[in-house]
Amino acid sequence: MYSDLKRFWVLLVFFLLTGLAIQFYTNVRPFEPRERDYSVVGSFYVFAIWIGFGVYAIYDLLQSRIKTKLLAPVVTLACLIIVPGVLAANNWDDHDRSGKYTTNSMARKYLESCAPNAILFTIGDNDTFPLWYLQEIEGVRTDVRVVNTSLFQTDWYIDQMKRKAYESDPIPSQLTHNQYRGGTRDVIIRREITKDTLPIKDFMDFVSSERPDTKFKYVAEKQGEDSSQYPKHLLNSNYFPTRSISIPVNKEMVLKNGVVKQKDADKIEDNLYTQIEGSYIYKNRLLMLDIIANNNWERPIYFTGGAFGSEDYIWLKDYLQLDGMCYKLVPIKTAVNKANPYDMGRVDPDLMYDMVKNWEWGGSGEDMYYDIETRRNGITYRGNLARLIEQLINDKKLDKAEEIADIAMAKMPVDKFGFYSLLEPYVSAYYEIGNVEKGRALYKDVAKKYQENLVYYSSLSIENQDRMVGEDIYLDIQRYRALIDLLVIYNDEEFALQETKTFNSYLSLFDELMNRYSQDELPEIPTDLDFNEAIKDTIDRIAPEN
């Protein structure tokens, strides 16, 4: 190597440019849902060459002292054993996937949450690939048509959706290939010329029409605009004349197909009403509306719930029902609570209870490594099961509510899943059910986590504590206090008094920090703090979505 510096520098520069430089240039996020090291694969080749040089260097060093023909194979074999051995010793615990089938089981839960011959809208890669695997490789629920709404903007994928696949029928659609091919109706612009509500079939007929008066050029010129300021492809595109759409309900079909149970027949609306938000409809949303318009309630329609934007539910969030892991479109209005917009739709407790009882958990709750994605998935599980428990309690089905709470605690242990504020509904549930001992035990488990955090924060220098006071220390103190408030709410007075004293002892760890501020200067955590949003922000920082 010393005798060929030119080659050394070539390899070094190649290594740096295909490794560190690429990471810096692409600004790779620290945590991803899946491995991204393929982006630096070029540097691996150089590193492999250097490994080879290293093996030879060891041989060269020893050959002057050890005279044997076996030296070269011995050195090579030793390096082949030791180097991977060191990697395995240091990385086995957090790379061991034996007994871990949580992704498989979660995908199975999504598919099994759907009724026969359903259409399931997914968001993107991360909530679609596991479903495809189960359908294509294991043959699970191939009657469900999985529609990836990210790909639903491409004509080739729409063509696929219009063909039968396994037991799944083609999607119901009136748009032809020429009406959605690349460059055609990529975006539909809003030009509101009426406040009237259009039936969805009339809406689709308008935006799919080739009549000149349905094109954007026509309405722009009609409204006195200079059409030359717009790109040609926009002028030739359609526009939609109103934001308001109605979807008629075929009550007979809804009941026949089990979209709504007979017991809820009196709650069925005559029409669903929605308002399109924003100034554009992109092709994927147009195709979703196309399906709704032509389905006539013959097939159940579901959403994975992987996002909270209104457009991901084609502006129909007020007509959802949480079935297991999916949100089913139902003709029953359940307005989203603006104070808690993440709890969308109604819950059918009997249907969901039966689903949860049959869930497979893929090793969750057992001795396995819980990576960040597994822990993140627990947010959805805990939130959905908490809603089921609440509904069961409201219906006075306390035994079933306790059973679901026990399943949640067994399959998502406090120690393994984090996001402790999501456990407050479970503490409440045990008290509501009347099992005070379980409520106290869960309280202690969660309080212990906050206590551990506060002890760690108190071990930091006062300067570091000062930097963390608003984001971490004060938030954990508030969450810990919220736990104690639960004890007060449920009149567990003696235990609440005892735990308040414990809380105060941990609070005293930060006397020096708090003395730096007057009461007015302390960072305020509002009483209506949206912990779901706080959790989401934390997730986005440590493991953002793809």
The structure tokens listed for 324 are: 């297991």
Confidence of residue 293 (pLDDT cuts 50, 70, 90): very high
Show Cβ contacts of residue 448 under 8 Å, excluding neighbours closer than 6 positions: none
CA distances from 288 to 150, 189, 307 (A): 11, 16, 16
What share of the chain has pLDDT > 70, as a percent? 93
CB 302 within 8 A of CB 118: yes
- Distance, CA of 442 to CA of 438 (rounded, Å): 6
Instruction: From 450, 539, 448, 432, select the one nearest 492 (Cα to Cα).
Output: 432
Global pTM value: 0.85
Q: Could you read off the pLDDT of 7-26 as tens digits, one per residue?
A: 889 999 999 999 989 888 88
The DSSP H or E segment spanning 187 is strand 187-190
The structure tokens listed for 103 are: 């992704």
Show Cβ contacts of residue 42 under 8 Å, excluding neighbours closer than 6 positions: 14, 17, 18, 19, 22
- Distance, CA of 276 to CA of 314 (rounded, Å): 8
Q: How crowded is residue 292: how many other Cβ atoms within 10 Å of its Cβ? A: 21
- DSSP letters for 399-466: HHHHHHHHHHHHHS-HHHH--GGGGHHHHHHHHHHT-HHHHHHHHHHHHHHHHHHHHHHHTS-HHHHH
Q: Could you read off the pLDDT of 339-376 as tens digits, one per residue?
A: 788 889 999 999 999 999 999 999 998 888 888 888 98
Length of the chain: 546
398-432 burial code (b ≥16 CB/10 A, e <16): bebbbbbbebbbebbebeebbbbbbbbbbbbbbbb
Confidence of residue 537 (pLDDT cuts 50, 70, 90): very low
- Dihedral (CA of 225, 226, 228, 230) sign: negative
Q: Is 60 exceeded by the pLDDT of residue 198? A: yes
Q: What is the mean pLDDT of residues 501-506?
A: 95
Task: Give the residue carrying structure tokens 């490794």.
Answer: 19
Around 152, how many Cα atoms within 13 Å sit in the side-chain half-sphere?
Answer: 28
Q: What is the mean pLDDT of residues 27-35?
A: 72
Q: How crowded is residue 230: how many other Cβ atoms within 10 Å of its Cβ? A: 16
- Distance, CA of 440 to CA of 450 (rounded, Å): 15
Q: How crowded is residue 238: how many other Cβ atoms within 10 Å of its Cβ? A: 24
SS3 231: coil
Q: Could you read off the pLDDT of 34-82 as tens digits, one per residue?
A: 677 788 899 999 999 998 888 998 998 898 888 888 999 999 999 999 9
CB 414 within 8 A of CB 442: yes
Q: What is the pLDDT of residue 470?
A: 64
- Distance, CA of 362 to CA of 102 (rounded, Å): 4
Task: Give the residue carrying structure tokens 């220098």.
Answer: 461
